[in-house]
Amino acid sequence: MNQLTITQPDDWHLHVRDNDVMASVIGFTARQFGRAIIMPNLKTPVTTTAEALAYKDRILSALPENSSFQPLMTLYLTDNTPAEEIKKAKDSGFIHAVKLYPAGATTNADSGVTDLKKTEAALAAMEQHGLPLLVHGEVTHPSIDIFDREKVFIDQQLVPLIERHPNLRIVFEHITTTDAVQFVTESNNNIAATITPQHLLLNRNAMLVGGIHPHNYCLPVLKRETHREALLKAATSGNPKFFLGTDSAPHAKNDKESSCGCAGIFSAHAALEFYAIAFEQADALDKLEGFASFYGADFYGLPRNTQQLTLSKTRLEIPTEISFGNQTLVPFFAGETLQWALS
Ligand code: NCD
Ligand code: ZN
C-alpha cells in the first residue's frame, strides 16, 4: 500500500503547555488532528471551568490562521474539587472530561489526588452528569517498583473505583501493559483506553540500552517487549475500546538532558505517521482509521470528523531539534527518516 486516505483523526490525550512555548507546538497538532483533549497539568493546574475557558481562549489565539482545530478542555481533579464545579464544567459544553493524576505521579502532578476517597463527591457528580474521568493509572508509593505501578493501580485503585461508580465513564490513559489491555478488554463499555505511539513502537531497551536515552523517557515508562506486543495487538484489533492518544508532552531539551531529566516525549510533529508505521508493522493499516478517527469520538459522544487526509509512502526527515519558545526540544525519532508522510 502506498497511500492511505482516512477520516481526519483526533488526539484524545495531548499536552500543549502555555504561552510562548504553546505557540511553538500547537501548529503541529492542528495540521493533523481535528480536535484534541487538552491536558490540564499546567504549572498552575486548570482546576475550574473559568480557568479552562481562559486556557481555551489562549489556545485558540495561538493557532495558525484559518485553522479549524478544536481544543477539547479538561479539568484537573484535586482532593478539593467540589461537585458543583463538575456540574458547571458539564454545563459549559466545552469541558469534556476530568483528569486524575495521583499526587506526584508525573510532570506537574503535585496538586494531584492524595486519596481517591477524598474525591467521592466529584466522582459521584461525574457519574451522574456523564463527564468522563481520565486516569493516569499508576500508583506512586515509593515501595512499588516503577515497572509494576500500572498493574498495582488496576488492582488497588481502579477495580474498587469501578465497583463504587459502575456508571462512571473512564478512559485509562496511555496504557503500557498486558495487564491493562486485558483489564480494559474485559471491562464493560464504560471503560476505554488510549495508546501512545511510543508504547506501540518502542520497548524499554530504547531507553536504556547503549546509554541512557532521555528523549525516550516518559511516564508511564516504556515496558518490556511482551507488553509492547500486547498493546500493538489491542490497537490494531478493531476493538473500539482502544483509541489514539499521543500524550505528546513537550519539554525543553535542557530539562530532559539533565541529571534529573523530566518525563515526556514530543510526538506531535509526525503523530499520525508514527501510528501508521506501527500499524503497518502489524499488517493492519486497514484498522488505523477506526483507532485514529472513529472510536474516540464515539466514546466521548462527539460527531466523527468529516474531512479526510492522506498519508503517502514518502520519506519524512525528522529534524534533530524544533524550536520551543526561546529554547529547543528534541522530537520523537529526531534525526531519523520515516517512510510515511502526510500529503
Ligand atoms: C506528561 C507531561 O510532561 O506533562 N509526561 C509524560 O511523561 N507523559 C505527563 C503525563 O501525561 O504523565
Ligand atoms: Zn499525558
Residue type at 271? A
Ligand 2 centroid to 59 CA: how many Å? 17
pLDDT-based confidence at residue 135 (cuts at 50, 70, 90): very high
Instruction: Provide the CB-side half-sphere exposure for 323 (13 A, CA).
Output: 6
Catalytic status, residue 247: yes
Q: Which three cell numbers stand for residue 163?
A: 465497583
How far apart, in Å, do the first and last CA atoms of the chain sit? 15
Condensed to tens digits (0 to 9), the pLDDT of residues 67-90 reads 999 999 999 999 999 999 999 999
pLDDT-based confidence at residue 267 (cuts at 50, 70, 90): very high
Give the Cα-Cα-Cα angle 24, 69, 291 (nearest 5 degrees). 105
Ligand 1 centroid to 242 CA: how many Å? 19
User: Taking 90 as the threshold, does the pLDDT of residue 1 lie above it?
Assistant: no
Residue percentage of the chain with pLDDT more than 70: 100
The mean of the pLDDT values for the chain is 97
Asked if 193 contacts 135 with a C-beta cutoff of 8 angstroms, the reply is no
Q: What is the CATH code of the structural domain delimited by 3-342?
A: 3.20.20.140
Condensed to tens digits (0 to 9), the pLDDT of residues 281-338 reads 999 999 999 999 999 999 999 999 999 999 999 999 999 999 999 999 999 999 999 9
Given the CA of residue 108, which atom of ligand 1 is nearest to it?
Answer: 4
User: Taking 90 as the threshold, does the pLDDT of residue 233 lie above it?
Assistant: yes
Mean pLDDT of 156-163: 97
The per-residue pLDDT for 110 is 84
The per-residue pLDDT for 254 is 98
Condensed to tens digits (0 to 9), the pLDDT of residues 106-130 reads 888 888 999 999 999 999 999 999 9
Asked if 37 contacts 96 with a C-beta cutoff of 8 angstroms, the reply is yes
User: Taking 90 as the threshold, does the pLDDT of residue 6 lie above it?
Assistant: yes
Ligand 2 centroid to 218 CA: how many Å? 9
Provide the 8-state DSSP code for 166: T
Nearest to 106 by CA among 24, 171, 15: 15
Mean pLDDT of 235-253: 98
Condensed to tens digits (0 to 9), the pLDDT of residues 40-70 reads 999 999 999 999 999 999 999 999 999 999 9
- Which residues contact ligand 1 via a Cβ below 6 A? 15, 41, 106-107, 136, 218-219, 247, 249, 263-264
Specify the length of the chain in residues.
343
Condensed to tens digits (0 to 9), the pLDDT of residues 166-189 reads 999 999 999 999 999 999 999 999
Q: Give the environment of ion ligand 2: residues with CB less than 5 A.
A: 247
Distance CA 96, CA 46 (A): 13
Catalytic pick among 179, 247, 286, 298: 247
Probe target for ligand 1 pocket from 17, 44, 108, 219, with the most ligand atoms within 8 Å of CB: 219
pLDDT-based confidence at residue 105 (cuts at 50, 70, 90): confident
